[in-house]
Structure 1
């Protein structure tokens, strides 16, 4: 109904303009010749003026021009209406829940109309992607929450029924599950806030070398017990960052290496290159599988069905890294290290002088 109404309005408007233009040309020409005849210096010396036959010829010519203009107007109206009709139909389908609807641009010579349709299609594609992502997020979050909640419920019910003794070991296991839930919720919060541009950062001048050394000092003993050797190659760089968030990034990368890398050296380096501070974390392998190397920073992205679940991960670690780094205006990328392992490179803003 809307499309038909729009078509009728445009056709009537263009036809009216064409007819009005025809009448304006006809009567305007007559009026112009009348003025010229009566006010010209030679008007009294000549009896020649437009005859009735002249008016007939003029009327026929204007009528032919009117027909040509009307046909051109109708054709132009159809060229304009085709993409607009497609746009209106697609908009109604999207309103009814069909996010796969797309409009047809039609004649690309109508630049603005074609751009309007392309923008509409881009908007529709983004809506569809967002809906798909939301569905995936809901399903994945439910999956992630189910395991610790099931364990908590089972253990607590067993203690109530007397199957399990509420000793210190059992309570520590329950606390570990609660910690897992808390970590998942905090990671989800960080990623969501960063995607919406509302991640709170407390920027201040920070010497990254000192922050890295303090964190490594805390983790060094545990990592050595698991067979890892931390090696540092740090330049003294002063950067405006949120120190707590940068520690969170480095901790996530070290935890990732701790879970998946082979026992050996983990190297942390910090340097200045092209007026940028570059923080790198590299291990000795095996690195990321080719099927996830380009999507490793997407939420809940895993190399296998349950790999990170078995090792205590929730699939959000690298997403948190990307969210925090991009909130600082930086970039994070993955490459293969010289030893065949994973190399995560964090590029931060220009260092302070």
Structure 2
């Protein structure tokens, strides 16, 4: 190891000074105590002071004990300094960009020092995991953006070269690609703002049943065209929430069921259980595998890659729902539906306040 750092030098100097001071204190303390004892209880053959033999004995004892004390101090200092030096060295490595650096606790008998090293290593591991997640996130976003941008560029270049006729159908296709990009950007914005705690919410007491019924009426036609029947099972409950964000989350869950579920019934349930409000969307299958269920709320995770892309999915729908629900202080969970399909439930704390009545 190279030259000792300033902290190491200060600790060694301090411990050496304490050892020397202790030795001198023992010497003069012994001399003073011996002198007082002799003065109070004089011995017949002594003149009341220390003899040269006494000085020799005390000196020999100090010469023997002082090096031992210095040796013990140095060993103790090294035990303290080794983990601290490892901590300082690896902190500099992390500052330089090496997130794989980890400190060594050395002798774990020093409990507080070992705990400090463990906390540092835990922090370093989290930094490394966050950097890896960020790299994966950036790569996935780039991949998601590349497909629509490539299509847009190819079509536009084809129109410029005269390969494609800029008719209404072609332009509508380009607009669809632009809409997909806009949805992706908005979903990324929602997830990022929610994770950073800056998602803008207008919280107020709302009656969920009328909001859901109105939204279901607007979705019913498109769902029927896709082979689905929408069924409502709604209790009249009030929750403190942002109505717009709740509609956004509910639309994402219904759209998710439309993309992945077999043709049949999609059920929206609103109920109360154990002081919580449950807003769930259930389908008739096939549900999620146990492996997929554990990571389905992560961004860009899809159950059926091909079908999701055919219907315009970007893998962020459930992440957006999770972000919105957690921003409300709730939680999102998945479980198997009674019908055998998937059931996604948004869980909120019930409010004791009343919401203004809506016109029928």
Alignment TM-score, normalising by the size of structure 2? 0.90
1:17 corresponds to: 18
1:175 corresponds to: 175
Aligned equivalents of 1:304, 1:281: Cα separation in 2: 19
**Alignment pair present for 1:148 and 2:145:** no
1:196 corresponds to: 196
User: Compared with structure 1, are the counterparts of its residues 60 and 276 closer, same or farther at alpha carbon in structure 2 (3 Å cutoff)?
Assistant: farther
**Alignment pair present for 1:325 and 2:319:** no
Shift of 1:50: 3.9
Deviations 1:148-167 (A, max 9, x none): 11111122222222322222
1:121 corresponds to: 121
1:211 corresponds to: 211
Task: Single out whichever of 153-162 and 195-204 deviates more from structure 2.
Answer: 153-162
1:310 corresponds to: 310
Aligned equivalents of 2:96, 2:30: Cα separation in 1: 55
Aligned equivalents of 1:334, 1:81: Cα separation in 2: 51
Task: Single out whichever of 338-347 and 297-306 deviates more from structure 2.
Answer: 297-306
SS in 1 for 2:293: coil
Q: Contact conserved, 1:3 with 1:85, CA < 8 A, in 2? A: no
User: Compared with structure 1, are the counterparts of its residues 192 and 51 closer, same or farther at alpha carbon in structure 2 (3 Å cutoff)?
Assistant: same
Unaligned runs of 5+ in 1: none
Aligned equivalents of 2:283, 2:141: Cα separation in 1: 30
User: Compared with structure 1, are the counterparts of its residues 76 and 222 closer, same or farther at alpha carbon in structure 2 (3 Å cutoff)?
Assistant: same
Task: Single out whichever of 54-63 and 259-268 deviates more from structure 2.
Answer: 54-63
Deviations 1:26-78 (A, max 9, x none): 2233234546666x5x6799955543333333333344443333222222112
User: Compared with structure 1, are the counterparts of its residues 268 and 11 closer, same or farther at alpha carbon in structure 2 (3 Å cutoff)?
Assistant: same
Alignment TM-score, normalising by the size of structure 1? 0.91
Aligned equivalents of 1:233, 1:59: Cα separation in 2: 95
Shift of 1:136: 0.9
Shift of 1:2: 7.6
Deviations 1:79-109 (A, max 9, x none): 1122122212322322332211111122222
The CA RMSD over aligned residues, in Å, is 2.3
**Alignment pair present for 1:7 and 2:23:** no
Q: Contact conserved, 2:285 with 2:341, CA < 8 A, in 1? A: yes
2:245 corresponds to: 245
Q: Contact conserved, 2:260 with 2:307, CA < 8 A, in 1? A: no
Aligned equivalents of 1:115, 1:249: Cα separation in 2: 43
User: Aligned ranges for residues 1-353 of structure 1 at < 5 Å?
Assistant: 4-5=4-5, 6-34=7-35, 47-303=47-303, 306=306, 308-353=308-353
Aligned equivalents of 1:310, 1:274: Cα separation in 2: 40
User: Compared with structure 1, are the counterparts of its residues 2 and 275 closer, same or farther at alpha carbon in structure 2 (3 Å cutoff)?
Assistant: farther
SS in 2 for 1:292: helix
Aligned length: 351
Deviations 1:214-270 (A, max 9, x none): 111110111122121222222211111111111111111111000000111112111
Task: Single out whichever of 261-270 and 335-344 deviates more from structure 2.
Answer: 335-344
Q: Contact conserved, 1:275 with 1:351, CA < 8 A, in 2? A: no
Aligned equivalents of 2:69, 2:234: Cα separation in 1: 76
Q: Contact conserved, 2:333 with 2:345, CA < 8 A, in 1? A: yes
Q: Contact conserved, 1:267 with 1:281, CA < 8 A, in 2? A: yes
Shift of 1:340: 2.5
User: Compared with structure 1, are the counterparts of its residues 172 and 352 closer, same or farther at alpha carbon in structure 2 (3 Å cutoff)?
Assistant: farther
Q: Contact conserved, 2:287 with 2:336, CA < 8 A, in 1? A: yes
Aligned equivalents of 2:211, 2:3: Cα separation in 1: 63
